[in-house]
Amino acid sequence: MSNASSSRRRRGSARTTLTQVAEAAGVSAITVSRALNTPERVNAETRRHILATVERLGYVPNLVAGSLASASSRFIAVIVPSLANAVFIEVIQGLQETFEARGYQILLGNTDYDLDREAQLVRTFLGWSCSALVTAGLRHSEACHNLLNGWDKPIMEMMELGEALDLNVGLDHAAAGHCMARHLLQRGHRQIVYVGGRMAKDYRAGLRYAGHREELAAAGLEAPLIDLERLGSLEAGADALDQVLETHPRADAIHFANDDLATGALLHAQRLGLGVPKDIAIAGFNGLPLGQHVTPRLTTIRSPRHRMGRLAADRLLTRLDGGSVSVRCNVGFSLLVGDST
């Protein structure tokens, strides 16, 4: 039950070891090891006998020892900037499903959008002899680069596309920004404000804004920007709407960096009695279910988050199995036209 037992054994735990199983089964340690890890290399009868002994003694393999001896753990390091964002959760789920089915364990790290923390996490994860590393984004600190460059295992950079260290699965954020801006222009909006949150850190929102701005520039329009101090949340979105109404009273559309902000603004507009899109159009990014359940339905861009996770995991597994995969994979996105624009 609790950690009460304070025996004075010199080292080691009371747990059954592989050697004890071997003795009990009347075989050598390596045979037990093989029966558990590469069963096809052991005679069927011997195997059955060993597994029965394992069961009888309640043996739980010491994975730490195994990893040390084989110089590789079945860990996959996964580093994301935030857990508060449903987007990363879905990517993680995609990764997890695929990896767990193949016996890999995910080691999750959260950088809170801080590149130094990322380097720190990478350091720790390398120390665990992970089989591969997955991280969100292509931007890293110099320390992080140094650590990763000297590493000999697969690295997957996700979410965006570009010059990667190794493998890369993601989508083109600038193109997504272009796409939504074009849509808003087509709908006749001309005073379009872009609203993001902590964009110095969430630089992918910045990439989308760059696309948005180019599109507006091509139409001879300004692209005012509001950069909130908070990341996405319904509350921040509601506040942002107030701010836009005050600072850009002639705005006819708001292009939000994510669906949380957009939906928060949309629900707040409802409370204020503002017509959406009649008085002001609202657009988001991500394609979260929430946006599709409010009235009017949110116009947004859907990214295949879950699929991105699965794809990334599949490619890493292929690589780990010795296969070769193409370096870059564009998962694309789709414009989801709702009634809010």
Contact residues for DNA, defined by CB under 7 A: 10-13, 15, 17-19, 27-31, 33-34, 36-37, 41-43, 46, 61-62, 65-66, 68-71
Interatomic CA distance for residues 309 and 113, integer angstroms: 19
The smaller minimum CB distance to a second copy, of residues 35 and 184, is found at: 35
Judged by CB under 8 A, does residue 61 bind a second copy? yes
For residue 77, the surrounding DSSP H or E stretch is strand 75-80
Contacts with a second copy by CB under 8 A: the residue count is 64
- Contact in structure between 302 and 86 (CB atoms under 8 Å): no
**Using CB under 8 A, which of the segments 21-29, 44-52, 92-100, 240-248 binds a second copy?**
92-100
Closest CA to 29 of 68, 1, 59: 59
For residue 135, the surrounding DSSP H or E stretch is strand 132-136
Interatomic CA distance for residues 24 and 5, integer angstroms: 26
Residue 154 interacting entry, from a second copy, DNA, none, C-beta within 5 to 8 Å by type: a second copy
Q: Is 107 helix (H, G, I), strand (E, B) or coil?
A: strand
Q: What string marks each residue from 24 to 53 as x (binds a second copy by CB under 8 A) or -?
A: ------------------------------
Residue 110 interacting entry, from a second copy, DNA, none, C-beta within 5 to 8 Å by type: a second copy
- Contact in structure between 289 and 305 (CB atoms under 8 Å): no
Footprint of a second copy on 288-307 (CB under 8 A): 289-290, 293-295
The DSSP letter of residue 216 is H
Interatomic CA distance for residues 314 and 156, integer angstroms: 11
Footprint of a second copy on 209-238 (CB under 8 A): 233-235, 238
Judged by CB under 8 A, does residue 65 bind a second copy? yes
Interface residue with a second copy, options 64, 101, 200, 217 (CB under 8 A):
64
Residue 29 interacting entry, from DNA, a second copy, none, C-beta within 5 to 8 Å by type: DNA
Closest CA to 78 of 8, 38, 16, 130: 130
- Contact in structure between 313 and 95 (CB atoms under 8 Å): yes
Q: What string marks each residue from 103 to 142 as x (binds a second copy by CB under 8 A) or -?
A: --xxxxxx------------xx-xxxx-------------
The smaller minimum CB distance to DNA, of residues 10 and 271, is found at: 10
Rounded to 5°, angle at Cα 74 from 70 and 76:
135
Strands (DSSP E) found in the chain: 75-80, 105-110, 132-136, 155-160, 167-171, 192-197, 225-228, 253-256, 281-283, 300-302, 328-330, 334-336
Judged by CB under 8 A, does residue 180 bind a second copy? no
Q: Is 126 helix (H, G, I), strand (E, B) or coil?
A: helix
**Footprint on this chain of a second copy (rule: CB under 8 A):** 1-3, 5, 11-14, 58, 60-65, 67-68, 71, 73, 83-84, 86, 89, 92-93, 96, 100, 105-110, 123-124, 126-129, 146-147, 149-150, 152-154, 165-166, 233-235, 238, 263-264, 267-268, 270-271, 289-290, 293-295, 319
